[in-house]
Amino acid sequence: MPPRKKKPTDQAELFTASSAKEIQAILWKTADKLRGSIDAAQYKEFVLGLIFLKYVSDAFEERRNELAKELVEDGISEDRLEEFLEDRDEYTGAHVFWVPETARWSWIAANAKSQGVGKLLDDAMDAVMAENASLKGVLPKIFNRDNVDQKRLAELVDLISDARFGGTEDKPAQDVLGEVYEYFLGNFARAEGKRGGEFYTPQSVVRLIVEILEPYQGRVYDPACGSGGMFVQAAKFIEAHRGRGHKTDISIFGQELNERTWRLAKMNLAIHGIDGNLAARWGDTFADDKHPDLKADFVMANPPFNIKDWARDEGDPRWKYGVPPKNNANYAWLQHMVAKLGERGTAGIVLANGSMSSQSSGEGEIRQAMVEADLVACMVALPSQLFRTTQIPACLWFLTKDKTPQGAKRLTERRGEILFIDARNMGEMADRTERILTDADLAKIAGTYHAWRGTASAREEGLTYEDEPGFCFSADLETVREHGYVLTPGRYVGAVEAEEEDAEAVAERIAMLTEELCGLFEKSADLAETIRKQLGRVNG
């Protein structure tokens, strides 16, 4: 293809679309169409698979229209236009998936009723995977089955055709779909109840981990990555602070045990334009570590809490601080993540509250060994009701291999210290059953950690660390030893100090209470007189 000069284009002219909220409303109706006839796990695959196919098709068509406009402006004749429009390099070079003609949504919608929608969709998934190596083995082929109502499926295709994943001047198409995908993951997690926690971590919890770790550059690892939310939030963090072009400053490594969830994660990363190594297939992190030689700069994870049935090998070299018990894998996860950290790596892990104080089956000894090895940097007690999928109270462990100033980073020396943060009273109710951490909450917790550690962001914002009764306390190892190596923040932060009131406020308060007390005395006297009279009548 001859070289052509590139011309700037107006995004507002190229993309037309519904808002993310409008698209979400349309597509949740799609889920409702399937609800009742298909279990939650399966209709999740149906809907998200269709959304993904619609997105890659819309993105392809938008790039095609943009390319046609450029070609006409460059003087390419109409008889040669088709040749240039089918040049796949013009799409892949713009980070757009190549979509063969029979996988394009317009073609599927036009031929669905005459050729059989289920077969068309399965063939389209095959075609897209064959043309895009990063999607190999990822997309669902579950539409042309005997138990699938083809008439209802055709209706779903019509409904999804009403949603266009185009962008706006302020928000690229990729971001619009990313929001829709995340919205659906959250809704499906709620629909599936406890099982939903296997693939979804509440966004405010993920944001808190990312805000504390600040993964600007390096290798990021999640050994129980679910649908990939930690990676997506890390990329958003980088975009917000350093611009969209810096997403490639991190390398993504992940592993997921559940095949369906692994596919969701692969689609989620593709939708957000994130290149990641989630291994060639799903697998058990304990029995089949897919990244055995990895040394990560950042580990972020929400592993399943308190799992009793796990692949335990007493001779595993990861158990440097003690062999975890058969009936609980919490300390297996912690030690696995320590084993994955590079020399200056840091980790943020969500675990059940019991992990901070358990003494059973050797867990207390493992925790003691980890504390004495100076691996624990910070413990955060989280508020209740953050996790709609489980009622188990949760906390955050932050581990590190290096608490020194680290040379040019000029961090505060924190060897032999642990920061305790009690955030149990933070957050606000998003609805009757679910709590979220607000932006102000996230800023306070993350800011406290950065002030304590003396990071560059803390210096830029002029933050300095001080213990705050009832909220945070920096304890030395001797203090932790005195508490029997229990790491529950409430043991260390103390009680909130009462605010001092001025003399006038105190006097006014005393006067008000005195008046109330006198009123109660009067009522008491009246009541006593009434009782005496009644007793007199009875005796008389």
Looking at residue 240, its amino acid is A
Q: How far is it, in rounded angstroms, from Cα 504 to Cα 13?
A: 65
| Res 411 pLDDT > 70 | yes
Instruction: Give me 494's structure tokens.
Output: 């103390």
Residues whose CB is less than 8 angstroms from the CB of residue 514 and which lie 6 or more positions away in sequence, other chains included:
none
CA distance 406 to 345: 12
Q: Could you give the angle at the alpha carbon of 434 between the alpha carbons of 428 and 437, nearest 5°?
A: 40
Amino acid symbol at 451: A
- Most confident option among 19-33, 150-164, 234-248, 472-486: 472-486
Residue 37: per-residue pLDDT: 60
DSSP conformation class of 402: -
Same domain assignment for residues 359 and 432: yes
Both 178 and 217 in a single domain? no
Residues 484 and 504 placed together within one structural domain of the fold: no
Q: Which of 163-177, 197-211, 238-252, 462-476 has the lowest mean pLDDT?
A: 163-177
Model pLDDT, residue 260: 86
DSSP per position, 267-318: HHHHHTT--EE--SS---TTTS-S-TT--EEEEEE-PPTT-SS----TT-TT
Is 359 part of any domain?
Answer: yes
**CA separation, residue 47 to residues 39, 140, 147, 202 (Å):** 12, 10, 16, 21
Structure tokens at 398: 């932050």
Contact 330, 305 (CB under 8 A): yes
Tokens 């969701």 belong to 264
Domain membership flag for residue 523:
yes
Q: Percentage of the chain surpassing pLDDT 90?
A: 49
CA atoms of 316 and 126, how far apart (whole Å): 40
Residue 117 maps to which CATH number?
1.20.1260.30
Q: Are residues 347 and 418 in the same domain?
A: yes
Beta-carbon contacts of 392 under 8 Å, excluding residues fewer than 6 positions away, are 305, 306, 352, 353
Residues 183 and 231 placed together within one structural domain of the fold:
no
Q: Round to whole Å and give the CA distance between 193 and 41.
A: 11
Rg (CA), the chain: 29
Q: Is the CB of residue 419 less than 8 Å from the CB of residue 377? A: yes
User: Within a domain: residue 389?
Assistant: yes
Q: What is d(CA 342, CA 399) in angstroms, rounded to the nearest whole number?
A: 12
pLDDT value of residue 333: 98
- pLDDT on residue 449: 98
Residues 6+ apart with CB under 8 A from 162: 26
> How does pLDDT run across 365-410, given as a tens digit for each residue?
999 999 999 999 999 999 998 887 677 889 999 999 999 999 999 9
The structure tokens listed for 480 are 């932790």
pLDDT digits (tens, 9 = 90+) for 436-469: 999 999 999 999 999 999 999 999 999 999 999 9
Give the model's pLDDT for residue 194: 53
Q: Check pLDDT > 80 for residue 509.
A: no
Q: How many domains does the chain have?
A: 3
Distances (CA, A) of 304 to 94, 196, 262: 38, 11, 15
Model pLDDT, residue 499: 39
Q: Is the pLDDT of residue 471 over 80?
A: yes
pLDDT at 195: 54
* Burial grade of 415 (CB within 10 A; 0-12, 13-18, 19 or more): exposed
CATH number for position 424: 3.40.50.150
pLDDT of residue 526: 73
What integer is the mean pLDDT of 487-498? 82
Q: Evaluate if residue 325 carries a pLDDT over 80.
A: yes
335/356 same-domain check = yes
Between CA 378 and CA 489 the distance in angstroms is 9
**Residue 312 near residue 360 (C-beta atoms within 8 A):** no
Q: Determine, yes or no, domain membership for 395.
A: yes
Paired tokens of 441 = 């909450």
Confidence of residue 337 (pLDDT cuts 50, 70, 90): very high
226: tokens are: 């679910």
Helix (H, G, I), strand (E, B) or coil at 501: coil
Tell me the average pLDDT of the chain. Answer: 84
**What average pLDDT does this structure show over 260-285?**
90
Q: Which domain holds residue 43?
A: 11-188
Same domain, 106 and 236: no
Mean pLDDT of 135-162: 84
